[in-house]
Structures are given as C-alpha cells and as structure tokens.
Amino acid sequence: MRAIITICVLLGATVVAHADADARARAARAKLVAQVTALAEGRLDAFAVMFPDTKSSAVMFPSSRVVAVGRKAIRAAATEWAGVGKIPTAATVVGTSSVGQRLDSDTSKRASHLVVVNADLDVTVRGATKPIRLRATSVFSDGLDPANPKALASIAMFVSLPTETKDLRGEDKLAESGEFDRFLDLLRVPDLLSERFDAGPGDVVIGTALGEHAAGEDAKKLLDSWHGLKLTVVGKPHVARALDWTYAMATVSMKRANDRPAPINVLIVGYPECKGTCVGTEMTPHVVSLHFGQSR
C-alpha cells in the first residue's frame, strides 16, 4: 500500500510539473509577442519596463556589440533594435516559436525556472520593399516577484540578422577579453561547449547563417560541426547568474584562415548542475541555448 501511495504522489507531482511547464510556455510565447510588438511600435518605455531594473537584465541587438544592461541602457539600445539605420514599421513572429525549459522530477529543488523562447521575425523596415528576417531569443524566469512567484519576468533578449559565412565582416585582430568565467569560457572551447549542451527537444542552437538553426540532437550535431572554430572572447562580456540559471552575452572574434577575424555577438544560456540541491553557481555548467549573430 505504501508503494502505491508513493507512486501516486510521484505521478501527481509529474502532472503538476508538466501543467506548470505548459503554463510557462504559453506565458513566455505571449511575452515574446508583446516584446516584439512594443519594439515595432516604438513603445520603448513599455519594452524596457518588461525587464527588472537590475544587472541581471540585458539585451543585445544587431546594431551594436555592446551589451545593454539595466532598463536605461535597454531603452537606449532599443532605438536601433533592428540594426543601424533601420526603422521598423511592423514586426511579426513567423510560424510557431520554440520554447525550452527544464522539468525537474522534484520541483522543490528549484527556486526559479528558466524559460527560453526562440522565434523568427519578419520585420518591415521603412524604405524597404520587402520584410527583413531577424531571429530573436528571449529568456524569462519566474520566482523573481515575491508577490507572484509564478509570474515570468524578462531577463534577456538577443536579436540577430542572419548572415552567411562568406558575408561576415572582418576586422583587424581584436584584443582578447581578460575576463574569465567557468560558463563564459565554454565559448573559447567549442568541443567542450558541445559536450555541455543538453540537447533537449526545446534546446536550440542558432548560427550566423540562415540555415544554421536547429533543436535537440540536430542542434548538437550542428555544434559538433563547429569543433574546428577558433573563437576568442573580446570586449566586455556580461554574465548574469541566479541560483538556478545563468546566461552570458558577449562578442567573440572568429579566426579565419584567409581573411580578417569576424566579430560575432553571442548569447549562451544554461544552468548549474544540481547535486541534491541547486545551491551554488560554480558547479558544472549545462547549456540549453546558444545564439550567434553578426555584430556591427
């Protein structure tokens, strides 16, 4: 009888966990649409206020390789979110956005849940005859509002313009960043990055080219194909951490044999491995999302 009760309790917890996950997925998709709509309509204050005004909130857009941290900087960056000189008049999410999140068998282990949404955007720009295609990754977390622990808050957004490898812009060698971090350092070692990628159904890898967009095991294969890349972290990266998640935005310099290095923006999202509890952020990092895009 005790065994039957235990099984029923576990099944009940699993059902609740999946119900909560479905609710988070719906809420995250809706919040991404709200972000895109606010940006397209030029409601920059409304966009910025979606992010908590802390160092854990950041955005990175095709217009700059500087990470905008905090509401004031986020609002300023949003003035050119689609790229330098591009003035959007409309933007829509194309198809169904993908949602990735971790499901714990014991939900009490995590104080908050990381939710990552990836979407393609068609953006109409003033003066252009057809929409441009952008790709967006938005990162959300619950557990940040004591009054409503299940409410999702925007913590990061990364937008890129697909650029084929042959069209990547090059620059003279860029100075390597002196900042080191166990999670950020995965970008310096592509083989280790592939090893630490979870490859769940909603875990996505996006490269600079239009065709480099894959999820799950296909995303891991895409990562494996990049094992020979020579990447150097440059400039000033931004790393944000909570007990249950972490992300980094940075610029990397990709070395090329017969051309100048290409500066590329990157967002990498993950979480620390839990061993009994999810306390501590220096444990083995796991990666659930990676997004590269050509920077200005």
The residues spanned by each domain of the chain are 2-294
Helices then strands, each counted (H, E), the chain: 5, 12
**Model pLDDT for residues 115-146, shown as the tens digit of each residue:** 999 999 999 999 989 999 999 999 999 888 87
Q: 13-27, 62-76, 86-100, 161-175: lowest mean pLDDT where?
A: 13-27
Rounded distance between C-alpha atoms, residue 249 and residue 291, angstroms? 10
**Model pLDDT for residues 132-183, shown as the tens digit of each residue:** 999 999 999 988 887 888 889 999 999 999 999 889 999 887 788 877 777 8
CATH class of domain segment(s) 2-294: alpha beta
Look at the pTM and tell me if it is higher than 0.75.
Answer: yes
Rounded distance between C-alpha atoms, residue 242 and residue 247, angstroms? 9
**Model pLDDT for residues 21-57, shown as the tens digit of each residue:** 899 999 999 999 999 999 999 999 999 999 999 999 9
β-strands 114-125, 204-206: how paired? Answer: unpaired
Per-residue exposure over 105-134, b if at least 16 CB sit within 10 Å of its own CB, e if not:
eeeeebebbbbbbbbbbebbbeeeeebbeb
**pLDDT tier, 274 (very low <50, low <70, confident <90, very high otherwise):** low
